[in-house]
Amino acid sequence: MKQLAGKVAVVTGGGSGIGRELALACAAEGMKVVLADIDEPGMVETARLTNAETMAVRCNVAKAEDVESLAERVYEAHGAAHLLFNNAGVSVAGPTWTTTLQDWEWVMGINLMGVVHGIHAFVPRMLKQGGEAHVVSTASAAGTLSVPGSSVYCVSKHGVVTMSECLHHELRQAKSAIGVSVLCPAFVPTGIADSQRSRPAELAETNPLAAPYAAWAKKAVEKGKISAAEVAAMTLAAVKDNRFYIFTHPHTRDAIEVRMQDVLQQREPTNPTPSKTAGENL
Ligand SMILES: NC(=O)c1ccc[n+]([C@@H]2O[C@H](COP(=O)([O-])OP(=O)(O)OC[C@H]3O[C@@H](n4cnc5c(N)ncnc54)[C@H](O)[C@@H]3O)[C@@H](O)[C@H]2O)c1
């Protein structure tokens, strides 16, 4: 989708981090921006920073009815949605054998089902409206690798990658003009390592062995060398070029290559983060 000016962008998780920067980048292109998040003050701040026509909708992406009502609001206000960012996400850490069911329910509800809900609510409407549109779902480098201590997060993000690939094939088969991309960043300094801030009390139980993994992830996120603004710029460039895979961190590709060779050669899986500092290279 080459021309963005005057079109409508919807950004879930638009109250912080990568979502905020996607919103700012879309506003800078002259798009009408709709923010969707559970963090209302965060959305107010993003709206202020955009300096443009911005709508903010409180929306828990884990709830299908919230995302459906978001789509209704967008189509009532603007009559169309051209660029959907399924971006809201959270992370937990800790070894798989001590993950809690609450960890799985919380993370899968947002990271995986949130994307399902976005596709359900928006793609049929985009097909009906006709013309060009684009769906970008934020997965992660963790959606292409298997990182120890991140199994809940990795499973959710692998799901987003394969769901996006399936959607891409289906829309091409349907001869639709809707493009699809999957965004796979490695570490970016945002609020992601502080995801617990929005965790609902009823899903509060956490992995009892999470702490050392969470501390490592927090450090890696804080040290991330590519900013959320740079990720957003790379993402919009990919939308304009109708490019499917968006790998913002070049070293990720080396780790994927090793993983694929492990699979093809049926050898023991290589740990992509063998030491506490190795992850910083991803
Ligand atoms: N920062 C990184 O290192 C990194 C790397 C790879 C992928 N990602 C992915 O990028 C996306 C954006 O995360 P970020 O890094 O900007 O983190 P962030 O914490 O700064 O932003 C996430 C946003 O999602 C919102 N959110 C959380 N739960 C929600 C819910 N149930 N419904 C609606 N909104 C909700 C939060 O309120 C927040 O505004 C996530 O999908 C994350 O998994 C981040």
Is 276 part of any domain? no
Best residue among 105, 138, 197, 230 to mutate for probing ligand 1's pocket (most ligand atoms within 8 Å of CB) is 138
Q: Which atom of ligand 1 is nearest to the CA of 224?
A: 3
Q: Which atom of ligand 1 is nearest to the CA of 39?
A: 37
Is 170 part of any domain? yes
CA distances from 81 to 15, 22, 68, 141, 211 (A): 19, 15, 13, 27, 41
Q: Does position 138 have pLDDT exceeding 80, yes or no? A: yes
Cα Rg of the chain (Å, integer): 18
Give the residue numbers spanning the domain of 100.
8-252
- pLDDT at site 275: 64
Is 267 part of any domain? no
Please report, for the domain that includes residue 152, its CATH number: 3.40.50.720
Is 280 part of any domain? no
The residue-averaged pLDDT of 103-130 equals 98
Q: Which atom of ligand 1 is nearest to the CA of 19?
A: 16
Is 199 part of any domain? yes
If one counts the domains in the chain, the total is: 1
Is 135 part of any domain? yes
Q: Known catalytic residues?
A: 153
199-212 confidence digits (pLDDT tens)? 999 999 889 999 98
Is 217 part of any domain? yes
Ligand 1 pocket list (CB less than 6 A) = 12-13, 15-19, 37-39, 42, 59-62, 87-90, 110, 138, 140, 185, 187-188, 190-192, 195, 198, 221, 224
Length of the chain: 282
Annotate 58-79 with b (16+ C-beta within 10 A) or e (fewer): ebbbbbeebbeebbebbbeebe
Is 265 part of any domain? no
- pLDDT at site 206: 87
